[in-house]
């Protein structure tokens, strides 16, 4: 039962992480600024110390000539990260990418605190829902009486 509960929690946390709005845009090409306000929405799958993993149906160039920017919109706050070193991790759509990013230390602390607060809130809500579901169904199964049938040979 604990294994199932952990699997459900991990799945729900991944879904919650994927719900964060992330706008990807090209900031520099060949060390020249790219003046544009266009962006693509990507789905975050993981955020680590210096890398972000995301998926998108777009086939992005993964050469070292481009610098990308991500604007992460998180519960009324936005964080801008920039990075190069984008690497495609699979060859089928939706494509998964890993991007190395840089962020000022104070901003990184703020971003991690906001993400962790969001995930803790999600985990608490999920735990309550699962506990409610389990207690309701365990009582229902305990109280259910199955009709007895007599079989004749």
* pLDDT band for position 55 (cuts 50, 70, 90): very high
As beta bridge partners, residue 41 has 23
Q: Where are the domains of the chain?
A: 2-137
pLDDT at position 74: 84
Rounded to an integer, the average pLDDT of 96-108 is 90
Of 51-60, 91-100, 103-112, which gets the smallest average pLDDT?
Answer: 103-112
| Res. 140: pLDDT tops 50 | no
Give the other-Cβ count within 10 Å of 34's Cβ.
Answer: 14
Contacts (Cβ under 8 Å, ≥6 apart) of 60: 86, 88, 95, 97
- Round to whole Å and give the CA distance between 138 and 8: 18
Rounded to an integer, the average pLDDT of 32-46 is 91
* pLDDT band for position 95 (cuts 50, 70, 90): very high
- 3-class secondary structure per residue, 70-123: EEEEECCEEEEEEECCCEECCCCCCEEEEEECECCHHHHHHHHHHHHHHHHHHH
Q: What is the pTM of this model?
A: 0.71
pLDDT at position 129: 65
In terms of CATH, what superfamily is 2-137? predicted glycosyltransferase like domains (2.40.10.220)
């Amino acid at each position: 039962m604990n294994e199932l509960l952990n699997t459900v929690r991990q799945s729900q946390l991944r879904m919650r992480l994927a719900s964060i709005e992330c706008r990807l845009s090209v900031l520099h090409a060949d060390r020249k600024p790219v003046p544009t306000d266009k962006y693509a929405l990507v789905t975050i799958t993981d955020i680590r110390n210096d890398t972000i993993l995301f998926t998108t149906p777009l086939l992005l160039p993964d050469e070292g000539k481009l610098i990308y920017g991500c604007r992460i919109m998180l519960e009324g706050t936005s964080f801008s990260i920039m990075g190069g070193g984008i690497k495609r991790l699979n060859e089928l759509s939706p494509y998964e990418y890993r991007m190395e990013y840089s962020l000022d230390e104070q901003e990184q602390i703020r971003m991690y605190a906001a993400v962790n607060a969001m995930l803790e809130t999600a985990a608490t809500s999920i735990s309550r829902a699962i506990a409610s579901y389990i207690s309701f169904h365990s009582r229902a199964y305990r109280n259910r009486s199955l009709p007895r049938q007599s079989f004749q040979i």
